[in-house]
A = this chain, B = another copy of it.
Amino acid sequence: MYDTIKHLIETRASVNHYDTSRDLTQHDIAELVRLATLAPSAYNFQNWKFIAVRSPAAKARLKAVSYGQQKVVDAAVTFIICGTLAAHERLASALQPSLTAGILDQALCETWVGMAQRSHCDNPQLQRDEAFRSASLAAMTLMLAAQGMGLSTGSMSGFDPLGVAREFGLAATEVPVMLVTVGYPAPGNWPQKPRKQLAEVMAFA
């Protein structure tokens, strides 16, 4: 297992050129999102939303609010991955499946809802941080799952968030954190770019 995950991480590279002749099934797209939602989130907030953009018309609208980047049209699908604000307001509902499954009990759920309420309620910056954290954890999970399916991905933060919100009818609580293009690669993509020396970014304590 370690060899496989190591291989997937080492061979993932952000792709700009996609094979426009190859599509993804609705089933495969849903499976990628299902796996993405298995990422962790604080309190199991699950404060995310995934819009799978794959119709030509929707891709064109997305391209227009992504500084004209062609890859959002060429990829089989581009996910708009949103983090949601005010996650504490929906925590009780997010925990319901864990309660039903008997993993958490009612008292613990209520404790968590109270804690989340107190820390998040009047703290818009924490809400935004949490949206970015959860959506990014889910996005990385989705990208590695796609890599395992033999697909390539590209994560993009270069887009107009207000334009994306307007074109795709996002609620005020839905913050577009990242676009992730997914599809089969065409020739001409960069290899994974080399990284800084480990010693520059790591310390032991």
**Residues of A participating in the B interface, judged by any CB pair closer than 8 Å:** 1-2, 4-10, 12, 14, 26, 29-30, 33-35, 37-40, 42, 44, 46, 48-55, 58, 93-95, 97-98, 100-101, 103-104, 128-130, 132-133, 136-137, 139-141, 143-145, 147-150, 155, 157-158, 168, 177-178, 190-196, 198, 201-205
Contact = CB atoms under 8 A, between A and B. Distances in A.
Contacts of A53: 205
Given A40-B155, A132-B132, A193-B103, A148 B201 contact: no
Given A55-B205, A148-B5, A38 B192 contact: yes
Nearest to A39: B140
A2 B38 contact: no
Given A4-B1, A140-B137, A196-B97, A42 B202 contact: no
A158 B10 contact: no
B196 A4 contact: no
27 contacts: A2-B145, A4-B4, A4-B148, A5-B8, A5-B144, A12-B40, A29-B204, A33-B202, A37-B201, A38-B192, A38-B195, A42-B158, A49-B202, A51-B202, A52-B204, A93-B196, A98-B194, A100-B194, A101-B193, A103-B190, A104-B193, A129-B157, A132-B133, A136-B140, A137-B155, A140-B141, A144-B144
Contact of A97 (B100, B193, B202, B203): B193
A194 to B, nearest CB: 4
Given A140-B136, A148-B4, A50 B195 contact: no
A58 to B, nearest CB: 4
A99 to B, nearest CB: 10
